[in-house]
C-alpha cells in the first residue's frame, strides 16, 4: 500500500486555469506538507498543516490555497495558473516534527 499518494501524477494545463492536486496519507500522521521542486531540483516548503491547522506558510502567492478536510488529506488548489508555476509538487507527512515521508510528486506543466 502506498503510504503517501498524490493525484494526478502529471498535470498539463493552460495559463489562467484553476487546478487542484490531492494528497492522502495512510500512515496515521498528524502533520502534512506541500513542497515545490523547481527545474534545478531545489526543494522548498510551501505549507504545513498539523492536525488540520496551518503551521507553516512560506512566502507563496495567495493563488495557492491548501485545504485539509481531515488529518489524512491535504489538497492544494492553484488559481490563475502562471508559467512559473510549472514544477514538481511533493506532498509529505510526518508524526509531529519527525521523519517526513514524501509522495511520488505531481508534475505540473503550465502552457
Partner 1 sequence: TQLLEQSPQFLSIQEGENLTVYCNSSSVFSSLQWYRQEPGEGPVLLVTVVTGGEVKKLKRLTFQFGDARKDSSLHITAAQPGDTGLYLCAGARGAGSYQLTFGKGTKLSVIP
According to CB under 8 A, which residues from 92 to 111 bind partner 1?
A: 92, 94, 96-105
What residues from 72 to 91 belong to the interface with partner 1 (CB under 8 A)? 90
Cβ proximity to partner 1: between 32 and 81 the closer is: 32
Report CA torsion sign: 56, 51, 71, 92: positive
101, 31 in Cβ contact below 8 A? no
Nearer CB in complex with partner 1: 41/62: 41
- Residue 84, burial from CB neighbour count under 10 angstroms (0-12, 13-18, 19+): exposed
Which of residues 12, 15, 27, 43 is near partner 1 by CB under 8 A? 43
Amino acid at each position: 500500500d502506498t503510504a503517501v499518494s498524490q493525484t494526478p501524477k502529471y498535470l498539463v494545463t493552460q495559463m489562467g486555469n484553476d487546478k487542484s492536486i490531492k494528497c492522502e496519507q495512510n500512515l496515521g500522521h498528524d502533520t502534512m506538507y506541500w513542497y515545490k521542486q523547481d527545474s534545478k531540483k531545489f526543494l522548498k516548503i510551501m505549507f504545513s498543516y498539523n492536525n488540520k491547522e496551518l503551521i507553516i506558510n512560506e512566502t507563496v502567492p495567495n493563488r495557492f490555497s491548501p485545504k485539509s478536510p481531515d488529518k489524512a488529506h491535504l489538497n492544494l488548489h492553484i488559481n490563475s495558473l502562471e508559467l512559473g508555476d510549472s514544477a514538481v509538487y511533493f506532498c509529505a507527512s510526518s508524526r509531529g516534527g519527525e521523519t517526513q515521508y514524501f509522495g511520488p510528486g505531481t508534475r505540473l506543466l503550465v502552457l
